[in-house]
């Protein structure tokens, strides 16, 4: 019973993080500030894992504010459209570095590309087979893209760069840092589900509809499951990379050179 109550109280902190995230995305900053201020007041009375998660949450939103205002400054400059798209993703390094700083101050082991937890125990042989299948499907998609765009290397090149940066940055932030932090409070499945929902909600401020954000959440669930399944971040980055390209081709994610 005591363990269940601890799990329940830990879950509340993740739900508060998600409410603050949605409030931030919908520009309801008063609600977000109230939640973060309340957490800041009670942080000294919390258990260590809860305290670490609260500071990680505060670090995330501080980094997102830096990301938001740097993004606004970037949009006022006369840069090419494709350069702005790529730079906007690179600005997500702000919350990443803020979270890493918090984990460093709490003397936590910072693992970016390796995870020690696993939902399923599978043999290395099966892992290699599935990973090889992903590579084959990825190369097939790349050949198809080149054919569809009539070998327009300038467009395809910038699109691949944009997809590569986006997939790596987002996987480090959402799967390696935030999902891992949620795992420390709950369990694999709960952290996977909640971090995926939060990931989908993070696209609200870009003007995406609820339906499209649900697509992002479902894709985030897939990336998170792959991360936990392989106990590595690289397979989810590869999967994210090619799904991201598919979203650009389908028009879900806008991308152009001019």
Query: Per residue in 21-61, pLDDT tens?
Result: 999 999 898 999 999 999 999 998 888 889 999 999 999 99
**How remote is the C-alpha of 82 from its chain's centroid?**
21
Task: State the pTM of this model.
Answer: 0.84
User: For residue range 206-221, what is the model confidence (pLDDT) as tens digits?
Assistant: 889 999 999 999 999 9
Q: What is the distance between the alpha carbons of residues 91 and 178, in angstroms, rounded to a whole number?
A: 17
pLDDT at 118: 41
* Burial bucket for residue 43 (CB in 10 Å: 0-12, 13-18, 19+): middle
- Residue 63 has, within 13 A of its CA and on its CB side, a CA count of 21
Give the closest residue to 221 by CA, choosing from 193, 190, 191, 182: 193
Task: Give the CA diameter of the chain.
Answer: 63
Q: Where are the alpha helices (DSSP H) in the chain?
A: 2-25, 29-42, 48-76, 81-90, 93-105, 124-148, 153-170, 179-185, 188-201, 210-230, 234-250
User: For residue range 156-174, what is the model confidence (pLDDT) as tens digits?
Assistant: 778 888 898 899 899 999 9
Q: Are 81 and 256 in contact (CB under 8 A)?
A: yes
């Amino acid at each position: 019973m005591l363990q269940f109550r601890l799990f329940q109280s830990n879950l509340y902190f993740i739900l508060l993080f998600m409410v603050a995230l949605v409030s931030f995305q919908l520009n309801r900053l008063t609600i977000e500030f109230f939640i973060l201020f309340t957490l800041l007041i009670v942080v000294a009375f919390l258990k260590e894992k809860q305290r670490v998660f609260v500071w990680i949450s505060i670090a995330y939103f501080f980094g997102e504010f830096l990301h938001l205002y740097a993004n606004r400054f970037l949009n006022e400059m006369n840069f090419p459209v494709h350069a702005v798209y790529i730079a906007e993703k690179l600005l997500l390094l702000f919350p990443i570095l803020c979270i890493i700083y918090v984990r460093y101050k709490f003397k936590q082991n910072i693992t970016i590309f390796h995870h020690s937890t696993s939902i399923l125990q599978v043999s290395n042989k099966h892992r290699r087979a599935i990973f090889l299948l992903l590579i084959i499907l990825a190369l097939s998609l790349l050949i198809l893209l080149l054919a569809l765009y009539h070998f327009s290397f300038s467009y395809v090149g910038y699109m691949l760069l944009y997809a590569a940066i986006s997939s790596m940055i987002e996987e480090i932030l959402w799967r390696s840092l935030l999902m891992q932090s949620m795992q420390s409070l709950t369990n694999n499945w709960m952290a996977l589900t909640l971090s995926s929902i939060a990931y989908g909600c993070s696209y609200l401020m870009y003007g995406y509809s609820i339906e499209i954000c649900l697509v992002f959440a479902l894709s985030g669930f897939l990336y998170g499951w792959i991360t936990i399944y392989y106990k590595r971040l690289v397979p989810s980055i590869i999967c994210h990379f090619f799904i991201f390209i598919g979203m650009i081709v389908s028009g879900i994610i806008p991308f152009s050179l001019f």
